[in-house]
Each structure stands twice: as structure tokens, then as C-alpha cells.
Amino acid sequence: MTGPAAADAAPGPLVEILKPGDPRVPKAEHCVTGELLAARAAAHPERVYAVFADGTRWTYAQVYDDARATAAALRDLGVRRGDTVLCWLPNGRHALRVWFGVNLLGAVHVPVNTAYRGALLDHVLDNSGARVLVAHAQLVERLTRTGGGRLEDVVVLGDPGDHLLPERLPGSPRLLGPQALWARPEEFSPPPDPVAPWDTMAVIYTSGTTGPSKGVLVSYVHHYSTVTALLDDEITEHDRYLLNLPLCHGGGTEVAYCMLLYGGSMLVTDGFRTSEFWDLVRRHRVTMCTLLGSMTDFLLEVPPAPDDRDHPLRAACVIPLNRQALDFGRRFAVDVYTGFNMSETSAPLVSALNPRRTGSCGRPRPGVQCRVVDEHGIDVPDGRVGELVLRADRPWSLFHGYHGMPEATAAAWSQGWFHTGDAVVRDPDGDFFFVDRIKDAIRRRGENVSSAEVEAELTGHPAVAMAAAVAVPSEHAEDEILAVLVLRSGAPFDPEQLIAYLLPRMAHFMVPRYVRLVAELPLTETGKVRKEVLRAQGITPDTWDRAAAGIEVTRERVG
């Protein structure tokens, strides 16, 4: 198998790559985004960093020029070192240049999921404290249903399509056009104090708990430690990675950062489509990818063909590692591996290539300590379910707090260990197996969904008195969402009308598939819903199924 075209390659990596387990903190020139951009552009300006689905290529020289031009424009808008800047854009060149431009200033990149709307969007605006938002034109109207946070400037990019821009937004920030985000590259000047490896690179919002979404503070060392641990240890400058996960998640930003670190390239797309996958891999010479949940199911459903193994793809990180993942590797002659990670961590569990056992998350990588404990923090024997807790040897390689939420930060740590909130089992051989989420999170289509946020929207419906959202099994791995409702006395109710009510108020991946009506919810003595009872009951004969009713909810394409 071969990598990208020889013209895209250049000899030797520029930076020292510290192996997982090395307790040293990498130097700024080896891990800080702006330093890496400058070094790559100087050493091999014509090498391709990114290829987009339309075939457009972006060289390292162009990346650095675009990032500097963006940074100079953001500085003119008042952005300074340490400021948060919201980026609400789909995958593409603009999303990347905003990220890199923000970091060149020593500011903090805050990517926002393009599916966010309603209360979840309002929370992110408020919690981030950002004064500047860069948004796609097709998303701006959603801001009218928020409090506006502390925004002073909203820079609008992209084709609005049929979406009309509002004349005024809550809080009256300025609405600026694309020209506000461009300056001349030579107008950029670095911040007076150099950016340090332990400075905050980004705030990544995660909906993985029962409360409001938390903004995970990610340092440059944190991101560096993650990509050098979870992504293939044999990455070279000849590799091209398929970036098909959103750049608002670690799964997307880690790929972009990884290719910058190793001097490789990536193919940037706006999502996964079964019918396009192998064509993109072959046409753009993709050598590596990440596959989540049902992606391997969908690829295996395609009828076998003589050219199943005729492609450049050599390795895939597949999460979770189920039977389909191993079948995918065998059928298409691709090395597969897996791992466990959260926005807060740096890939503490990683498997070997082509593991034989399904369900495993791998073993602790060098440089991290992992334990399985009970509710009192006491280690449990192998084979018994407990919570995964961990810590790392390298300073700053785990998250350094939740933005604006000191209480949540303190609660996540106990006796010097980070508590993941995930139930796992360790076997006598040292492999870890994921069992369930201790917290009431739901994993759907690669997204962590907070049950509390779903329930808040459900109870906003005039007919709903009480609501509980729980995970139920999906036929394509991960979860589906079951909403169990208690109705107000005498209130008319139609499940299809409920879905119509929810669509403009929440991200598509949060909309329940199943709706079940009950007279009362099972409660504890302190009034908390016993969700384990609802999960055990699952899909009952009287449960309404949105899919069976022919109602499809998909992500709104932006751009």
C-alpha cells in the first residue's frame, strides 16, 4: 500500500515526538499549534496539509498564511491572549483557519456543535463568556432563541441559502460579514508573551453527564498526549487521515492536530456516508481513519466485491471494538485497533493491533494509572464491575478543569484520581471492558447526550408533566433514546406532534426515537427517578416508535 502522492511528501519529521509514558512536557515548538504551523510552512511550504471533498488542496504555506490573516483580523476585533472565541462552523477550511488563527493569538478556541440550538446553545454561549462568535450564515437565526451570552461581534460566513439573517440579535452584537475575518498575513504579530505548552488551547463541550454541558479545558500538552497515544504509533508524513468526525469534538480536532504534528495530510469531509466511503478512500489515497458505532455495520452491509481489498487504507481506529469491527478488518484487510477516551483524558486505554477479543477497550498505556473502584474509592477484584478512575504521569496531559465550573471540577477528582463516571470490568489479563455509564448519559450516533437536557425539553411541552430519558439498545450499536412520559391530566397528546415540537429546540441526535406513556415514574425515597427500572423494562408493547411511524430525523446539512 502507498501513501499520498510523492509530491506531498518531504523527508523527516521536524519535531521530537515523545512516546506515551515519557513524563516530560513537550517543548512549545513541539506541541503549540502556532509553533507547529510556522515550522511546517517554513520547512515544506508546498506539502499538502488538507484535501477537501471537492478536491481543493491546502498546502502548509497556505494554512499558515490563512491562519495569520485570520489572527490579525481577530486581533482587530479585540481578541487578546486568553480570550475565548466561539467557532460555529461545519468541517472545512474556515473552521480550521479560525481554530489556528485563535491559537496564534494565544486565545482559546471554543468549537460549537452545528446541531446545537435552544437551551443547550444558550448554555454554551453563556458559559464560554466569549465576546466574538464566528458562525455559518445558516445557523445565525438560532441565536434569536437564546439570551445572546456576552457576544459583541458575530462574524457570519458561508452561503445563507434559504435562511434569512435576523436584523437584530439578543444583546445587540454587531453582525459582520466575511471581510471582518480577513487581513493581510503580514499584519499578524505574535503575542508579547510566547504561548506555553500548558496554556489552554481549546474548550471542548461535552454532554456526557446528567447536568449542564461542561466545557473541558484542554491544554496543548493534553491534545499532544492524546494523539500520540490513541492514534497509530506508526504514523508518518506519508499518511493521509480521513477526518469525518466534527471539528467540535476531540475526535475531529485530534486528527487535524495529529497530521500537523507528524507532517502528514488529511481528507476533510462533513460526515460519514456509506456510499461515498470507499470512493473517497481510493480517490484521495486515504491510509487511516476512525470509525464509530454503526459505521462498520453500514460498510459491512454493502455486498462483497472483487475490489474489497484494493485500496490504500491500512489502519482504522474502531470504537467500540465489536464483532463487526473485527469482521471489517478481515474483509477489507485493514488493521483495526481501539481505545477508551473522553474529552477530559488522553487515551488512557489502548489496544494492540487486531485484538482477538471483542468488547475490550484495551489496556492502560504507558504513563497512566487506571483502577477499578467501588463507590467508596476502594479497589474491586478483577471480574467485578466498578468505576474507572485514573491519573497520568505527564503534567498537563489530562484536562485542567471545567470552564467556569469549579464545583464540577472538584467533584470529578477525589483523592488525586479523576473519576470517569464509567463502569468497567478488568479481567485477570489486564484488559478493560466497558459495561455501562454510571451517569445517565446516552451515546447516540457518536454523540454524548445528557438525559437531563433531553428531559428539560420534554417537560417544556404543555402536555408533559414528568419525563425521563434513558438509553435502550440500537440495532446499529450505541444507543437509542426512550422518553418515558407522565402526561398532565386531560391534556391532549400526539407523539408525532411532540417530535415536531422538539425538532427546533434540540440537536437532531437528542430527539427520542421511542415514546412511552406511564401513569407514574418509578421514584426513590428521595424523589429521584429509578432509571435502572425504566432501562430494564425497555421497549414495551405500548411504546411508540418514531422510525416505525416513518419519521426520520437527520442532521441539517450546513454549507
Tell whether 258 and 175 lie within a shared domain: no
Confidence of residue 8 (pLDDT cuts 50, 70, 90): very low
Asked whether residue 102 is domain-assigned, the answer is yes
The pLDDT score that the predictor gives to residue 524 is: 61
Determine the average pLDDT of the residues in 316-343: 93
Say if residue 357's pLDDT is above 80: yes
Q: Supply angle C-alpha 552, 555, 559, rounded to 5.
A: 140
The pLDDT score that the predictor gives to residue 534 is: 93
The domain spanning residue 78 has which CATH number?
3.40.50.980
Q: Is 267 helix (H, G, I), strand (E, B) or coil?
A: strand
Tell whether 407 and 449 lie within a shared domain: no
User: In the numeric block, which cell numbers belong to residue 453?
Assistant: 437536557
Confidence of residue 390 (pLDDT cuts 50, 70, 90): very high
The pLDDT score that the predictor gives to residue 521 is: 93
Tell whether 499 and 540 lie within a shared domain: yes
Asked whether residue 201 is domain-assigned, the answer is no
Beta bridge partners of 268: 52, 243
The pLDDT score that the predictor gives to residue 527 is: 63
Of the candidates 398, 419, 437, which is a domain's last residue?
A: 437
CA distance readout (Å), 30 to 197, 224, 338: 9, 9, 26
User: In the numeric block, which cell numbers belong to residue 545?
Assistant: 416508535
Tell whether 296 and 352 lie within a shared domain: yes
Asked whether residue 227 is domain-assigned, the answer is no
- Amino acid at site 323: R
pLDDT tens readout for residues 221-251: 999 999 999 876 689 999 999 999 999 988 8
pLDDT tens readout for residues 169-195: 999 999 999 999 999 999 999 999 999
Tell whether 156 and 304 lie within a shared domain: no
Measured distance CA(321)–CA(350) in Å, rounded: 11
Which residue segment(s) compose the domain that 430 sits in? 250-437
- Could you give phi then psi for residue 109, rounded to 5 degrees? -80, 125
Beta bridge partners of 259: none
Are 131 and 83 a contacting pair, CB within 8 Å? yes
Of the candidates 437, 456, 475, which is a domain's last residue?
A: 437
Tell whether 262 and 178 lie within a shared domain: no
Confidence of residue 441 (pLDDT cuts 50, 70, 90): low
The pLDDT score that the predictor gives to residue 7 is: 40
The pLDDT score that the predictor gives to residue 207 is: 61
Q: Is 49 helix (H, G, I), strand (E, B) or coil?
A: strand
Per the prediction, the chain carries an average pLDDT of 91
For cell 491546502, name the residue. 58
The domain spanning residue 497 has which CATH number?
3.30.300.30
> Residue 517 class from Cβ within 10 Å (0-12 exposed, 13-18 middle, 19+ buried)?
middle
- Could you give phi then psi for residue 115, rounded to 5 degrees? -85, -10
For cell 459495561, name the residue. 435
Tell whether 268 and 172 lie within a shared domain: no
> Residue 494 class from Cβ within 10 Å (0-12 exposed, 13-18 middle, 19+ buried)?
exposed
Measured distance CA(91)–CA(98) in Å, rounded: 11
The pLDDT score that the predictor gives to residue 208 is: 44
Q: Is 359 left (phi over 0), alpha (psi -120 to 50) or beta?
A: left
Are 91 and 52 a contacting pair, CB within 8 Å? no
Measured distance CA(558)–CA(116) in Å, rounded: 12
Cα 519 to its chain centre, rounded Å, is 37
Of the listed ranges 280-284, 362-366, 452-456, the least confidently predicted one is 452-456
Beta bridge partners of 265: 240
> Residue 454 class from Cβ within 10 Å (0-12 exposed, 13-18 middle, 19+ buried)?
buried
Asked whether residue 404 is domain-assigned, the answer is yes
Beta bridge partners of 339: 350
Beta bridge partners of 257: none
Residue 320: cis peptide before it, omega within 30 degrees of 0: yes
- Amino acid at site 177: G
Confidence of residue 3 (pLDDT cuts 50, 70, 90): very low
pLDDT tens readout for residues 112-129: 999 899 988 999 999 999
H/E run at residue 265: strand 265-268
Of the listed ranges 50-59, 151-160, 258-267, 436-445, the least confidently predicted one is 436-445
Measured distance CA(158)–CA(164) in Å, rounded: 13
pLDDT tens readout for residues 86-104: 999 999 999 999 999 999 9
Total domains in the fold of the chain = 3
pLDDT tens readout for residues 493-548: 999 999 999 999 999 999 999 999 999 999 865 567 888 889 999 999 999 999 99
Asked whether residue 328 is domain-assigned, the answer is yes
Report the 10 Å Cβ neighbour count for 142. 19
Q: Which residues contact 54 (CB under 8 A, 6 or more apart)?
A: none
Of the candidates 437, 459, 481, which is a domain's last residue?
A: 437
Determine the average pLDDT of the residues in 81-90: 97
User: In the numeric block, which cell numbers belong to residue 551?
Assistant: 419519521
Tell whether 94 and 32 lie within a shared domain: yes
Asked whether residue 516 is domain-assigned, the answer is yes
The pLDDT score that the predictor gives to residue 451 is: 82
Cα 280 to its chain centre, rounded Å, is 22
The domain spanning residue 322 has which CATH number?
3.40.50.12780
The pLDDT score that the predictor gives to residue 423 is: 85
The pLDDT score that the predictor gives to residue 359 is: 85
Are 236 and 356 a contacting pair, CB within 8 Å? no
Are 51 and 97 a contacting pair, CB within 8 Å? no
The pLDDT score that the predictor gives to residue 555 is: 81
The pLDDT score that the predictor gives to residue 487 is: 95
Tell whether 509 and 392 lie within a shared domain: no
Beta bridge partners of 335: 315
Of the listed ranges 201-215, 248-262, 310-324, 394-408, the least confidently predicted one is 201-215
* E-assigned strand segments in 314-381: 315-319, 335-337, 339-340, 349-350, 360-364, 368-373
- Could you give phi then psi for residue 535, rounded to 5 degrees? -65, -40
The pLDDT score that the predictor gives to residue 11 is: 39
The pLDDT score that the predictor gives to residue 209 is: 42
The pLDDT score that the predictor gives to residue 14 is: 79
Closest residue by Cα to residue 48 from 265, 318, 201: 265
Tell whether 346 and 472 lie within a shared domain: no
Tell whether 131 and 93 lie within a shared domain: yes
Are 303 and 277 a contacting pair, CB within 8 Å? no
- Amino acid at site 293: G
Tell whether 368 and 265 lie within a shared domain: yes
Asked whether residue 234 is domain-assigned, the answer is no
Asked whether residue 189 is domain-assigned, the answer is yes
